[in-house]
Amino acid sequence: MKVQAKFNGQVIAESENTKQLEGNYYFPISDVNEDFLKDSSTHTHCPWKGEASYYTVTVDGAEGADAAWYYPEPKDAASAIRDHVAFWRGVEVAEV
């Protein structure tokens, strides 16, 4: 099954190798167009996944602050999402 992430009408990620966790699709970073991602200083902590880092998604002047997140060093229980990115906050994620 192929899953797509779109922001401001632009496909920013597309993959047949997503991982689903807690209702979110995590895309392999190799299937994400990193040109649309800008590092954010935001970090949050999940007790079982670890520390999350964020990206701001930018497409044609539109910005989605902290609209993408990833776990650079996930805990063992979440190791399947290492090198994967998930989206929210205005990014449309759907099976295609």
Whether this prediction's pTM lies above 0.85 is answered by yes
pLDDT, residue 55, reads: 98
If the chain, 96 residues long, is cut into consecutive pieces of 10 residues, what is the mean pLDDT of each piece? 97 98 97 98 98 98 98 97 98 98
Q: Are 75 and 57 in contact (CB under 8 A)?
A: no
What residues contact residue 78 under an 8 Å CB cut-off, 6+ apart? 21, 46, 48, 49, 50, 71
Domains annotated on the chain, with CATH: 3-95 (2.170.150.40)
The CB density around residue 7, as the number of other CB atoms within 10 Å, is 24
pLDDT, residue 58, reads: 98
Instruction: Return d(Cα 59, Cα 64) in angstroms, integer.
Output: 9
